[in-house]
Structure formats: structure tokens, C-alpha cells
């Protein structure tokens, strides 16, 4: 049963390369991309009763698998039990899945590869060797270490194997089953994964954030051009989109934007009012080649014949549209939310990146849905950086969600949806799945596991997700600000099939609705994913008694190195912003600091200050934006602001490198930087490849 050395070495190269590429992407996540939760019923067999990736049914299945192995040696049995139960670990996605290669056993910590572990129990970094030494001559029926791990034919059912029957030596075994304990990596050492909680402890929170104002226009959304240039698209709520060349930081230049000549003008289609308008834009990942642009907006079906979709209040969700309160005597679901696709004129690859205007004619209506109320309808769209699917954020419809739409799995209100817009659905697919438009459903959407869910749903339980983003360095970190109602504004880390609690919970506390004609969801019937950051209404300097979160971005630019790695977010009304620092890195646990900010005196556009303070008068903070240099922008009712080097506002940052001439941004700090960790990993990867290739070609 031994494998030829050359084949084995090639396989070792593949596993090792993939480990090195993925080691910096860890966060608590289950193998199905869902969030770990506390089991409703305590687990009996596996000792994971805190945050876990298993429920009681999975716990029983693991126990049956263990019992079928019929291991007579107690020490080996104990190790194998811990290995099987590691599927319940909150980090099981990292332990069991390496990119596209599913594993039967977790990555076992292996001190022969590296002893530089970020896990707390250094003594167990030789866990792989311990498993070999203890179990090598023990017969195991239906062994999890079967040849499947090597890509060979499966072992016959109920057959028994010793490790020595499968592997030639301990080093061969641990080179494939074990993994290096690199900084920020995750491997299994026989216990629940524990990250080093001292990570990031030496980095002080930023002293302040410096802004420069580069434009006076009021924009609601921004998207960097996919060609990697310094161009970006800006859109306003009225329905206009501009393509702009963004000036370099420190150049002293303003946004050169011709208001009279938009790239795309949708004002004839868009219904614009306080709560309505062009809510978001998104460029197809291959926009530079195919010219496909997507817009999310609201329309008024009483004025626009093409504005017609099913009402979100319908019999499927036990809601009667005729009983909805009329808005200015309007018919129910008069206002619709729309996602539509547009194409740049002459979309050949040679022209898509230079054509100055887009066609105002839709090429495809992706989605249309009638809104029951006139608020809380989200509307942001984003393409996932890893999967290329379109994510669509939808609020609960407003009014305190009296019909409990956010918890109703047959409703698309209060949800994050996920579409495949590259595959045209067939008529049978639209009919059988009851789709709301012209899109396909990604195969790994969670409805296949939860038969009660509509197929579009990726996550549920939101009040009004307002501004979400993927981390530019760790795309698995999908963050959303979710607007509260009476007490709490929250930031959520979005995972597949996560239930974020509304309207059972508002933030971390139980919410009692004033009225609920649509019924209530019991507290015990859901496993909510609680926010990782947020703030109480009572803790901020409120403007006219209002509070509403504006979700932001992880700061990944080199411009302000003291902000690097912080998640920035703010409030729509209050002149307050926060920086959340994850401690330890990749733990999902954040320490939040209220961050001061002001405007540089040499700002290209003069900054008007709030009377009696040094705060720039932002007005309403609509959105944050990010360009291709990962610089962060604030889009407000008073103009466009950009984060610049802190020294321009008199703030101190120990990592900032003084510059002369136009500011291009100081060097990123080397301390605890994910970018540097990744760079060092690729150095290790290069050395490993050289070593492995020599081994392959030198082995007979």
C-alpha cells in the first residue's frame, strides 16, 4: 500500500503550498462557512459546549463514527476521539478545508515543520508525532487516515488498518497529515484551538484620524475601477454616476468631476426621496473587459411601467398587502427595489476601460421587489472578491418590522442575498425555485441544507444593513453595519446562514416589539450571531436624538500606518467615528476605541468646522469608500473626504515616515502586519518549493 516517493513528494508540495497561502486567513468559521454557535442542546460526546460548529445530531454522528472504529488501545482511542471531535471546533473551516481540498482529518500540529506556533499550548506542537507514536501499530476499523487523503482508492468498508500499513514512516505521515505552526496559522494539537491573546497588545490605538476634503458634491456610493488605475465611480442618490480620476494624496488637487456630464444617468428611472434613490453601484469583477455595471435603486410603479415586481408582503409570508397602511393614499408596494445591469457602449475589451459614457438602457433586470413600507430597505450591492457572486443587502422594510419579516425564511426582507449573475437561469429554474428575477442561485447557498429558506438567502435577521465590505487582505471577513431602532447600532461579521437576531434581539439585548401582527419568533428557537462591535444610542453625542450606523472598511492603506488593520465605522448623524482592532488577530474579538478626527489645514477644499470644535462639518455621513490604493474615503452630505497622513493634522504616529513633496503614504508598520506575514510566507513558500523539487528529481 506504500505510495511511490515521487507521487508522495508532489502531494506534499501541494498540501504545503496551500497551507502557506491560507495560513493568514483564519477566523472562527465552520466548514460550511457558517458561524460557530452555542449548541441548543449540550453536546454529550465532544467537549465543545461553548462556541461550536456542531449540534447534538452531529455530536451523535461523530460518536457513532468513533464507535465503529473499534479501537482497543485506550491512549490511541483518546487521541482519535479528539481528532474526530475537532470538526466541532470553531476554527474547523481552517482545520479541515484547505482551499478546494477537503480533509478527513484536521491539520495536525507538527513541530518538525516549525515550532513558531501562535497557539497557546506550545507543548502539543508535536501532536502529529504523538499520534504516530501512539497509534502506529493499532488496528483501526474505517480509519480516518485512509488512502483517500492521498488521492487513492478508498479502503473497503469495515476493513482495519494500522498507520504502518498506509505510511512508510512518521515523517511521511506528518508531512501530509501535519501542518506547519507558522505565525497566525491554525493546526490541531489535541485541544480546542486557542490563539495567542497577546497578539497586537504592543500596538497602541491610533491617536486620531486626519482628513482632507477633495470635493463638495454629495455622493452615496463609490467603486474603484477594476483596471487598477486611480479612477473611481461616484454615484449620487438622484441616480447619476460619474467616472473620476482621483488625485494623489498631497497633490493639492480636487476631484475633477463635471456634474453636467455623468457616466451614466438613471434619473428617469430612479425615484428619489429621503429614503429612496440610487442606493448602490457595483462593477463586475471583469468590468475592464466586459463593461458590465450594476445599479441598485428604487422606482415608483405608478410613474414607471417597467417598475413592476411582486410585493414583499404576500401570502407566502402571511402578510396581506391590502391591509398595509397607505402612504399618501398610495397603493401597497408602490415603491420597488431594483437591481439592474447596464453595459458600457461598445463593450469590447479594448474600449470598456476608456469609453466616457455608458448606455442608459438596461441590458438585464436582475431583481425587482415591492416594498411594504418607506424605510429600512438597504439596497447595497457588492461582488464577493473570492466567489464573484453578487451580494444584495436588504432591510426589514421599516416600521419596527411588525410582520417579523427579518426572521421569516420565506421573506427576502431583513436578509443578505447572494446571486450568480453570470449564469442565465432557465425557465424551469425560475419556476421551480420561485426566483424574483433574472439570476441563478449559487450551489452553496444554504437553502439546500435549510429547506425553509428561500434560495436567494445567504444570511438573515437584519434590521437595515447599511454599508458592508469585504476585507481587502482577508476576503473571508465580510463586515456589515446594521442599523438599530431604539437602543443599539451594531457591526456584524457575516457568515453563511448566520442569523443576526433581529427582531428577537436588538444588538445583544432582547427586543420587545410595540406591535406584531405578523407574530413573533421565540428567543429559544434561534441561535443568534451577536455583533462584534457597536454602540448604544445613549453613549454618543446625538444630533436631534437620532442615531444610525454607517458601516465601513478595514483600513489597509499605507497612508496612515497607525490605522492599519483597524475596522473604521461611524454614525450617520453624530460626528463620531470608531476604530475596532481585532485582538488577537483572526479571533473575531474586537477592542473598540472612539477615534478623534479633524481636517488638514492644507486641504484642497476648505473644511468648514462644527462651531466650537475642530471637527469637520460632515453633515450626514452616508458611506465610506475605498479606492484601488486601499485609501479610505468619507462620503457625506457636505462633500468627499479622504484619510491622509496623521502628521498633516498634528497627530503622532510612531510608524509614519516623513516625506517631502507630494505625499504618497508612509511605510506600513512591520509589527503584527498581516501583509508582512503573508510576504514572509511566500518567502518560505519559495524555499519549500525549491527543496521539494530537488527532492522529487533526486528520488529514484
Burial 313-339 (b: 16+ CB within 10 A, else e): bbeebebeeeebeeeeeeebbbbbbbb
Name the band, by pLDDT with cuts 50, 70 and 90, for residue 155.
low
Tell me what percent of the residues of the chain surpass a pLDDT of 90: 66
User: What is the SS3 assignment for 419?
Assistant: strand
Give 406's contacts (C-beta < 8 A, 6+ positions apart): 396, 413, 414, 415, 460, 461, 462, 463, 502, 503
Closest CA to 553 of 579, 533, 535: 579
SS (H, E, C) 321-351: HHHCCCCCCCCCCCEEEEEEEEEECCCCCCC
Cα 546 from Cα 539, distance rounded (Å): 12
Whole-number pLDDT of residue 327:
59
Domain spans of the chain, in order of start: 5-196+677-698, 209-649
Give 13's contacts (C-beta < 8 A, 6+ positions apart): 688, 689, 692, 693, 696
Cα 571 from Cα 567, distance rounded (Å): 14
Residue 340: phi and psi, rounded to 5, are -130, 155
Burial 210-237 (b: 16+ CB within 10 A, else e): bbbbbbebbbbbbbbbbeeeebbbbbbb
Name the band, by pLDDT with cuts 50, 70 and 90, for residue 540.
confident
User: What is the SS3 assignment for 243?
Assistant: strand
* Residue 91 in grid coordinates: 476554527
Mean pLDDT within 313-335: 81
Closest CA to 263 of 303, 231, 285: 231
Place of cell 481585532: 582
Place of cell 477615534: 595
Cα 215 from Cα 396, distance rounded (Å): 33
Which tens digits make up the pLDDT trace of 548-579? 999 999 999 999 999 999 999 999 999 899 99
Whole-number pLDDT of residue 488:
96
Give 566's contacts (C-beta < 8 A, 6+ positions apart): 206, 554, 555, 579, 580, 581
Residue 463 pLDDT exceeds 50 = yes
Name the band, by pLDDT with cuts 50, 70 and 90, for residue 675.
very low
| Cα 504-391-477 angle, rounded to 5 deg | 75
Helix, strand, coil distribution of the chain in percent, nearest 5:
20, 25, 55
Cα 89 from Cα 30, distance rounded (Å): 8
User: Where do the DSSP E strands lie in 609-693?
Assistant: 621-626, 632-636, 639-644
Residue 101 pLDDT exceeds 70 = no
SS (H, E, C) 577-616: EEEEEECCCCCCCEEEEEECEEECCCCCCCCCECCCCCCE
The mean-pLDDT minimum among 197-206, 640-649, 678-687 falls in 678-687
Question: DSSP character for 562?
Answer: G
Question: DSSP character for 188?
Answer: B
Question: DSSP character for 528?
Answer: B
Is there a contact between 199 and 672 (Cβ–Cβ < 8 Å)? yes
The mean of the pLDDT values for the chain is 84
The mean-pLDDT minimum among 2-6, 243-247, 431-435 falls in 2-6
Whole-number pLDDT of residue 176:
84
Whole-number pLDDT of residue 325:
73
Which tens digits make up the pLDDT trace of 261-306? 999 999 999 999 999 999 999 999 999 999 999 999 999 999 988 8
Whole-number pLDDT of residue 697:
40
The mean-pLDDT minimum among 44-58, 268-282, 676-690 falls in 676-690
Which tens digits make up the pLDDT trace of 509-527? 999 998 899 999 999 999 9
Residue 679 pLDDT exceeds 50 = no
Closest CA to 287 of 296, 279, 295, 277: 295
Residue 125 pLDDT exceeds 90 = no
Is there a contact between 30 and 92 (Cβ–Cβ < 8 Å)? yes
| Positive/negative CA dihedral, 330, 437, 456, 623 | negative
Mean pLDDT within 633-649: 97
Cα 327 from Cα 331, distance rounded (Å): 8
Strands 209-215 and 597-599: parallel
Whole-number pLDDT of residue 17:
36
Looking at domain 209-649, its CATH architecture is: 6 Propeller (2.120)
Whole-number pLDDT of residue 254:
96
Residue 550: phi and psi, rounded to 5, are -120, 110
* Residue 209 in grid coordinates: 484620524
| Strongest mean pLDDT among 172-186, 608-622, 661-675 | 608-622
* Residue 484 in grid coordinates: 438599530
Cα 700 from Cα 696, distance rounded (Å): 8
Whole-number pLDDT of residue 511:
96
Counting beta carbons within 10 angstroms of the beta carbon of residue 59, is it exposed (0 to 12), middle (13 to 18) or buried (19 or more)? buried
Residue 242: phi and psi, rounded to 5, are -120, 145
Is there a contact between 196 and 586 (Cβ–Cβ < 8 Å)? no
Which tens digits make up the pLDDT trace of 354-382? 445 666 678 999 999 999 999 999 999 99
Which tens digits make up the pLDDT trace of 382-400? 999 999 999 999 999 998 9
Amino acid at each position: 500500500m506504500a505510495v511511490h516517493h515521487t507521487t508522495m513528494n508532489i502531494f506534499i508540495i501541494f498540501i504545503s503550498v496551500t497551507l502557506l497561502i491560507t495560513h493568514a486567513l483564519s477566523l472562527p468559521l465552520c466548514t460550511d462557512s457558517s458561524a460557530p454557535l452555542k449548541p441548543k442542546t449540550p453536546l454529550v460526546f465532544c467537549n465543545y459546549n461553548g462556541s461550536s460548529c456542531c449540534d447534538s445530531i452531529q455530536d451523535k454522528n461523530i460518536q457513532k463514527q468513533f464507535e465503529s472504529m473499534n479501537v482497543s488501545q485506550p491512549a490511541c482511542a483518546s487521541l482519535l476521539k479528539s481528532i474526530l471531535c475537532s470538526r466541532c471546533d470553531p476554527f474547523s473551516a481552517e482545520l479541515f478545508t484547505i482551499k478546494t481540498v477537503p480533509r478527513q482529518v484536521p491539520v495536525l500540529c507538527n513541530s518538525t515543520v516549525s515550532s513558531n506556533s501562535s497557539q497557546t499550548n506550545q507543548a502539543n506542537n508535536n501532536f502529529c508525532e504523538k499520534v504516530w507514536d501512539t497509534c502506529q501499530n493499532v488496528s483501526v476499523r474505517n480509519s480516518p487516515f485512509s488512502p483517500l487523503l492521498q488521492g487513492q482508492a478508498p479502503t473497503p468498508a469495515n476493513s482495519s488498518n494500522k498507520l504502518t500499513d498506509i505510511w512508510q514512516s512518521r515523517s511521511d505521515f506528518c508531512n501530509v497529515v501535519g501542518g506547519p505552526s507558522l505565525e497566525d496559522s491554525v493546526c490541531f494539537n489535541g485541544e480546542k484551538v486557542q490563539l495567542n491573546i497577546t497578539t497586537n497588545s504592543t500596538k497602541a490605538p491610533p491617536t486620531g484620524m486626519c482628513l482632507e476634503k477633495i470635493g463638495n458634491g454629495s455622493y452615496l456610493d463609490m467603486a474603484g475601477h477594476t483596471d487598477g488605475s486611480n479612477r473611481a465611480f461616484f454615484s449620487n442618490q438622484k441616480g447619476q454616476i460619474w467616472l473620476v480620476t482621483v488625485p494623489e494624496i498631497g497633490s493639492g488637487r480636487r476631484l475633477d468631476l463635471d456634474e453636467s456630464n455623468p457616466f451614466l444617468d438613471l434619473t428617469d428611472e430612479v425615484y428619489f426621496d429621503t429614503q429612496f434613490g440610487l442606493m448602490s453601484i457595483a462593477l463586475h469583477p471583469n468590468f475592464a473587459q466586459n463593461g458590465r455595471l450594476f445599479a441598485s435603486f428604487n422606482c415608483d410603479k405608478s410613474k414607471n411601467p417597467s417598475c413592476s415586481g411582486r410585493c414583499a408582503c404576500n401570502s407566502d409570508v402571511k402578510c396581506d398587502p391590502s391591509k398595509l397602511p397607505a402612504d399618501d393614499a398610495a397603493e401597497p408596494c408602490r415603491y420597488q427595489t431594483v437591481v439592474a445591469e447596464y453595459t458600457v457602449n461598445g463593450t469590447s475589451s479594448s474600449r470598456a476601460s476608456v469609453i466616457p459614457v455608458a448606455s442608459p438602457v438596461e441590458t438585464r433586470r436582475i431583481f425587482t421587489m415591492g416594498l411594504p413600507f418607506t424605510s429600512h430597505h438597504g439596497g447595497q450591492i457588492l461582488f464577493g472578491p473570492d466567489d464573484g457572486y453578487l451580494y444584495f443587502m436588504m432591510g426589514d422594510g421599516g416600521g419596527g418590522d411588525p410582520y417579523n419579516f427579518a426572521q421569516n425564511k420565506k421573506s427576502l426582507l431583513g436578509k443578505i442575498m447572494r446571486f450568480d449573475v453570470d449564469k442565465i437561469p432557465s425557465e424551469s429554474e425560475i419556476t421551480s425555485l420561485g426566483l424574483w428575477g433574472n439570476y441563478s442561485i449559487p450551489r452553496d447557498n444554504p437553502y439546500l441544507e435549510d429547506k425553509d429558506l428561500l434560495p436567494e438567502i445567504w444570511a438573515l435577521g437584519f434590521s437595515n444593513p447599511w454599508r458592508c465590505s469585504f476585507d481587502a487582505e482577508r476576503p473571508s471577513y465580510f463586515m456589515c453595519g446594521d442599523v438599530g431602532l431604539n437602543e443599539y447600532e451594531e457591526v456584524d461579521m457575516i457568515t453563511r446562514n448566520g442569523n443576526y437576531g433581529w427582531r428577537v434581539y436588538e444588538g445583544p439585548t432582547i427586543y420587545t416589539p410595540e406591535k406584531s401582527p405578523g407574530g413573533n419568533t421565540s428567543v429559544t428557537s434561534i441561535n443568534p450571531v451577536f455583533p462584534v462591535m457597536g454602540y448604544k444610542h445613549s453613549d454618543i453625542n446625538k444630533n436631534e436624538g437620532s442615531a444610525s450606523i454607517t458601516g465601513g472598511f478595514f483600513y489597509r492603506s499605507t497612508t496612515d500606518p497607525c490605522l492599519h488593520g483597524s475596522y473604521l465605522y461611524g454614525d450617520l448623524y453624530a460626528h463620531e467615528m470608531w476604530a475596532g482592532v481585532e485582538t488577537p488577530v483572526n479571533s473575531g474579538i474586537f477592542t473598540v476605541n472612539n477615534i478623534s478626527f479633524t481636517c488638514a489645514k492644507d486641504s484642497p477644499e476648505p473644511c468648514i468646522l462644527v462651531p466650537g470644535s475642530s471637527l469637520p462639518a460632515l453633515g450626514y455621513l452616508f458611506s465610506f469608500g475605498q479606492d484601488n490604493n486601499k485609501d479610505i474615503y468619507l462620503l457625506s452630505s457636505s462633500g468627499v473626504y479622504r484619510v491622509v497622513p496623521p502628521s498633516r493634522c498634528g497627530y503622532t504616529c510612531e510608524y509614519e515616515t516623513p516625506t517631502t513633496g507630494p505625499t504618497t503614504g508612509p511605510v506600513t508598520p512591520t509589527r503584527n502586519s498581516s501583509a508582512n506575514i503573508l510576504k514572509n510566507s511566500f518567502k518560505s513558500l519559495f524555499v519549500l518549493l525549491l527543496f521539494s523539487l530537488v527532492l522529487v528529481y533526486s528520488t529514484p
